Amino acid sequence: MLAGIAPMFGAAEFVRPAIDWHAAAPELTLLGFGALITMIDIGWLERARRIAAPLASLALLATLVPIITLALAGDDRSMFNGGFVVDDYSLIMKATFVLAGYVVVLMSTDYIAEGDYWENEYYGLLLSSILGMILMASARDLISIFVALELLSIPAYMLVTWRKRDLKSNEAGLKYYLMGVFASAVMLYGMSLLYGASGSTLLVDVNDAVSEPASPSAVVVLGIIFVVVGFAFKVSAFPFHTWAPDTYEGSPTPVTAFISVASKAAGFVALMNLLFVGFLGRDDVFEPLMWALAAASMTAGNLMALRQTNIVRLLAYSGVAQAGYMLAPLAVAGTVPPDKALTASVTYLVIYAAMNLGAFAVVIAVARKTRSAEISDYRGLFHYAPGLTVAMTIFLFSLAGIPPLGGWLAKFRVMEALIEADTASGLVLGIFVAVNSVIALYYYARIGFGMWAEDAPDGDLTPVNVPMSLGVALTLTAVITVAMGVIPGDVVGRFTEVSLLAGG
Amino acid sequence: METITDNNWLLTVLVFAPLVGALIMVLIPQQDEQSHKQVALLTSLVTLGLAAFLLIDFNYGKAGVLQYFADAEWIEVIGAGYTIGVDGMSLPLIALTALIMPLVFVYSWNHIPEPGNAKAFLILSLILETGMIGTFVAQDLVLFFVFFEVVLLPMFFMIAVWGGENRRYASLKFFLFTLFGSALMLLSFLALYFLTEADTFSMLVLTENAGEGIARGTQLLVFAGMFLGFGVKVPMFPFHTWLPDAHTEAPTQGSVILAAVLLKLGTYGFIRIAIPMLPEAAEAWAPWIGLLAVIGIIYGALGCLAQTDMKRLIAFSSVAHMGFVMLGIATLTDFGINAAIFGMVAHGLITGMLFFIAGSVKERYHTLEIKRLGGMLAQAPRLGWILGFVSMASLGLPGLAGFWGEFPAILAAYEPAVGLSEKTFHVYMVVAAIGTVLAAGYLLWLLQRTAMGEPPAEFADDPNITDVSTTEWIAWAPLLFGIVLFGVAPGLIFEVTDPAVGQSLNNCITLTGCEVAEAAASSGSGGG
């Protein structure tokens, strides 16, 4: 959208860009509700607490409406010279962000209210972070990608420290913040190099410029590497994952769920926008980079997860490994038809969102009774909370990729893309995925074993009290996780083949 | 290729009937154990009834053709279809599964293993049944893979929750081994998809294509992936180490299902998928498969001789018996593969029965240590005689089912498919024959130590040691009957399997010219 930034300082006349209000409706709706929640808080103070969570839910459901109407309309739209694009890919990701946000609100409702934390601010910030995410799904311009990234990150920094009297929460927030801004700085430097090489911030123009043989290669390569590394922090890929375990452990658990799913997905969306629109001509640069990140993330993430005793830390490391699986198709993005790699990653992201959110919902539910996230406290869960145990079993083994749960389809699509590439590197990465699935199974199955087969640590068999909103979140995620695996044709039929509109 | 689509709803109902029963059970409260047992038994009986209808209605004149064939869209994006069908190769195995499960539920009537919770235990068993039957009817690689894996979770929990002392180690080992194999198997399936022109997971098309257009080196690699996936499940030496642990720790019902059906998923995969789809690679790998098979036979037998625990001994005997099955398959002849299918059914009946006996012995003596047992014939004569009878069947006594699994497999090794080295297979034949002697050795020795002699002092006046109970009779009688029936009339199975085996081998000949047909023809029809 700022392709014309230089001429603006010249004398060129400013032309008001045409605005497609329908295309921008999801963002505008969410923005309106976010502002409303904040205003109500200012006006009503304490009285506003009661309506904060329902209003946030309503905001997200209302945002779904224009997303659905846009999907029904079915045509691709583009604004600002192609800097803002609405296509099937961006709509799927927007719907995922909004639904994930909705589940997070459901998970937060009792957690935040009972913890005596500020509520309106919490939901206001949550909504603005989601706003950044859905904006990211449409961004096809270096500047708007950066703005969307900051919009989704800055509220998240605050949410992480929400338990402000808890030292761990402070530590979590500080680490997340420092790592986050460091990543932003690196990425911004990369973007400036790319801008220097191409003279435009529009991704399509960047692609044209970097693909040309005559382009200053070192600058381009360095730019691409810096940008990718910046997002590698965001998606917690090895070796840029070091913030994740501490941040996950210290944050309020619903926020952990939010950053481990929505924020990571947003990082992936940005990465995919950049790779598929901006750098596709330079697959010789990004493919090896992605290959290394993917292989290292899945292997290192899994190996470190093996040693964890805290379930949130375990999910953090397993999240690193999962990021590796999602990165894998990007390592063959230039070899297979780009749609194929994109579809594989998107399918993985959507299914991952459902199963990982579900796992965190169980963590929250169990912690209501045990006040702990130690894996040893999951022993004997089956004897006093069979429903939660079955749900957790579904989520864990879906993460492990066992049919017929959703995760298997996700892994299948990744493997499919890797094999279709028909290159030695693709095949080797496929074997990496296969072997890592087995390593990962060990720690998932170990939790499953403890829940089902061991006795409760202190013989305390009082049932877990699951509040209704949390129950809805659990049911929703569990149903989606199973349905994705058994009848994916019907569930994901709409976005089975996503492609990405380049814009312009 | 020809298919018969009459009554094609039948298989779907057969596969998912157990799952429906499981869903009904979810709604029944946990305390009401009696209802759970009734629903589970009834469901499995309905399934058995459907399987019986299948057996009656099956067109035996066209046993080589896929019948009840249904082909619907399932996951369009990845080209996976809901394709199911039955031919002579899978029919006996489906019948075996449908027969074993009601017996397991009858046995469960008053043998719910520690720590109880009949609801969960029986639900898992029903899910297992859906997975097993589904694997045998699937005619699409992705569908096959999904059913193949559906079996994993229930079995893991069965061992993990209701298993013995060392259940944690055993269940994880079982899970990790099988998943490792199947992950690589999935890679091979995908490779097949992309490497063949047709871009399909349909087993029919891939079997017809028989690896055409795939470079030999690639074929070898793809076959290797499947080899690992199926070989771990069989289990073949050296991937067998999960089996003794899993069997020893699993509850009786788990051991029975594992021995009777689960192990067959692997061998079935070889004859249904790996060999017909990649005949050229199969030919190259066959000597190695044969080698591992005979090592398995001898190693399993020696392992048996060294065991001090009765259940572990039976588990090792499985390794040996599945070695015979794999040897039959490795010959790549009509005769050998027919023998292999027979061996699978026979092993299912016999070893399933042995594990039932082991469970009952454990219940009465609270130990399976062979050293401490003895004099069963004096104290519980019927139990002792049944053990004797099944041991005879297991060691391959002519006239009982075990014989027809082992003997033809050895015979087939005398004349392997053209293209395979006769000398090598002759050596295998001799080694396998020695294996049968060892089998007689360990089984008779087991019988001698546990059933003969005087009851040891510690159990001499134990009131717990009673003879076979009514539920045990009901659960065991069909198996004992089957062992005699198929021993006397092996043609019942051979005549069903032979056309289907011929069909799947024929495909590979017409396309690759590996001339297995001649070998199959000259070694005589398997129909005995």
Contact B73 A489 (CB under 8 A): yes
Quote the minimal CA–CA distance from B146 to chain A in Å: 5
Selection from A161, A157, A159 nearest residue A176 by Cα: A157
Number of domain units in chain A: 1
Is B96:B496 a contact under the CB 8 Å cutoff?
no
CB B404 within 8 A of CB B490: yes
Dist CA B367 CA B410 (whole Å): 36
Q: What is the pLDDT of residue B258?
A: 92
Residue bearing tokens 């603005």: A128
Of A155, A139, A283, A298, nearest in space to A224 by CA: A283
Q: At what angle do helices B310-330 and B334-365 cross, to 10 degrees?
A: 170
Task: Nearest by CB to B77, from A430, A452, A496: name it.
Answer: A496
Provide the residue range defining the domain that includes A391: 279-497
CA of B234 to nearest chain A CA: how many angstroms apart? 19
Residue A409 in domain: yes
Angle at which helices B141-150 and B118-137 cross, to 10°? 160
8-state DSSP, B234: T
Q: Would an 8 Å CB–CB cutoff place B159 in contact with chain A?
A: no
SS3 assignment for B202-224? EHHHHHHHCCCCCCHHHHHHHHH
More confident residue, A488 or B494: B494
By CB neighbour count within 10 A (0-12 exposed, 13-18 middle, 19+ buried), where does B491 fall? middle
* ipTM of model: 0.83
Give the three-class secondary structure for A83: coil
Check CB contact of B23 with chain A, cutoff 8 Å.
no
Residue A439 lies in a domain: yes
Q: Which of A435, A438, A453 sits opposite B161 (nearest CB)?
A: A453
Residue B404 to chain A, least CA–CA distance (Å): 36
Interface touch A452/B180, C-beta < 8 Å = no
Flag whether A381 is in a domain: yes
| Stretch B309-333: mean pLDDT | 92
Q: Name every chain A residue with its beta carbon within 8 A of the beta carbon of B161.
A: 382, 452-453
Chain A nearest CA to B506, separation (Å): 30
Structural domain includes residue A394: yes
Which of A416, A422, A437 faces B183 most closely, judged by CB atoms?
A437
Chain B nearest C-alpha distance from A296 (Å): 19
Tell if the CB–CB gap between A416 and B190 is shorter than 8 Å: yes
- Nearest CA-CA distance, residue A446 and chain B, Å: 8
pLDDT classification of B5: cutoffs 50, 70, 90: confident
- Check if B474 contacts A (Cβ < 8 Å): no
Asked if A431's CB is within 8 angstroms of B187's CB, the reply is yes
Distance separating alpha carbons of residues A76 and A438, to the nearest angstrom: 41
Residue B1's pLDDT band, with cuts at 50, 70 and 90, is low
Q: Which residues of chain A lie closer than 8 angstroms to B186, CB-CB?
A: 412, 415, 434
Q: Do B153 and A446 touch (CB under 8 A)?
A: no
Could you write out the DSSP letters of every residue in B317-366?
A: HHHHHHHHHHHHHHTTSHHHHHHHHHHHHHHHHHHHHHHHHHHHHHHHHS
User: Rounded distance, CA B328 to CA B316, Å?
Assistant: 19
Structure tokens at B184: 């690589």
Tell me the angle at which helices B470-488 and B91-108 cross, rounded to the nearest 10 degrees. 160
Is the Cβ–Cβ distance between A357 and A261 less than 8 Å? yes
In chain B the first and final C-alpha atoms are separated, in Å, by: 28
**Per-residue confidence (pLDDT) for residue B522, from 0 to 100:** 45
C-alpha span between A295 and A428 (Å, rounded): 9
- What residues contact residue A459 under an 8 Å CB cut-off, 6+ apart? none
For an interface test with A, give the residue of B19, B30, B77 to mutate (most A CBs within 10 A): B77
Residue B463, min C-alpha distance to chain A (Å): 32
Please list the pLDDT of chain A residue by residue as tens digits (504 residues): 445 455 445 556 777 888 888 889 999 999 999 999 888 888 887 777 778 888 999 999 999 999 999 888 878 888 888 888 888 888 889 999 999 999 999 999 888 877 777 778 889 999 999 999 999 999 989 999 999 999 999 999 999 988 888 888 888 889 999 999 999 999 999 999 999 888 888 888 888 888 887 666 888 889 999 999 999 988 888 888 888 999 999 899 999 999 999 999 999 999 999 988 888 888 888 889 999 999 999 999 999 999 999 999 999 999 999 999 999 999 998 888 888 888 888 889 999 999 999 999 999 999 888 888 888 888 888 888 888 999 999 999 999 988 888 888 899 889 888 988 888 888 899 989 988 988 998 899 889 888 888 888 877 788 888 888 899 999 999 999 998 888 876 555 555 455 565 443
Residue A485 lies in a domain: yes
Contact flag B175-A445 (C-beta cutoff 8 Å): yes
Q: Packing angle between helix B310-330 and helix B242-249, nearest 10 degrees?
A: 140
Inter-chain residue contact A448 with B176, CB threshold 8 Å: no
User: Would A223 be classed as within a structural domain?
Assistant: no
A-B CB pairs within 8 A amount to: 98
Chain A within 8 Å of B157 (Cβ-Cβ)? yes
Round to the nearest angstrom and report the end-to-end CA distance of chain A.
11
Structure tokens at A295: 């292989």
User: Which of A438, A439, A492 has the highest number of chain B CBs within 10 A, making it the mutation to test binding with B?
Assistant: A438
Chain A contact for B168 (CB, 8 A cutoff): yes
- Picking from B30, B141, B146 by the largest number of A CB atoms within 10 A of its own CB, the best residue to mutate is B146
The rounded distance, in Å, linking the Cα atoms of A141 and A205 is 9
Check if B216 contacts A (Cβ < 8 Å): no
**How far apart are the C-alpha atoms of A319 and A408, rounded to whole Å?**
16
Identify from A92, A413, A419 which residue to disrupt to test chain B contact, counting B C-beta atoms within 10 A and taking the largest count.
A419
Q: Which residues of A touch B175 (CB under 8 A)?
A: 441, 445
Q: Taking an 8 Å Cβ-Cβ cutoff, which residues of chain A contact chain B?
A: 343, 382, 386, 393, 397, 402-404, 408-409, 412-413, 415-416, 419-420, 422, 430-431, 433-435, 437-438, 441-442, 445-446, 448-449, 452-453, 488-489, 492-493, 496-497
**Residue B113: its chain A contacts at CB < 8 A?**
none
**Which distant-in-sequence residues (6+ apart) come within 8 Å of A172 by Cβ?**
A160, A161, A246, A247, A248, A249, A250, A251
B150 in contact with A, Cβ within 8 Å = yes
- pLDDT in the model for residue A105: 93
Helices (H), A306-337: 311-327
> What does pTM read for this prediction?
0.88
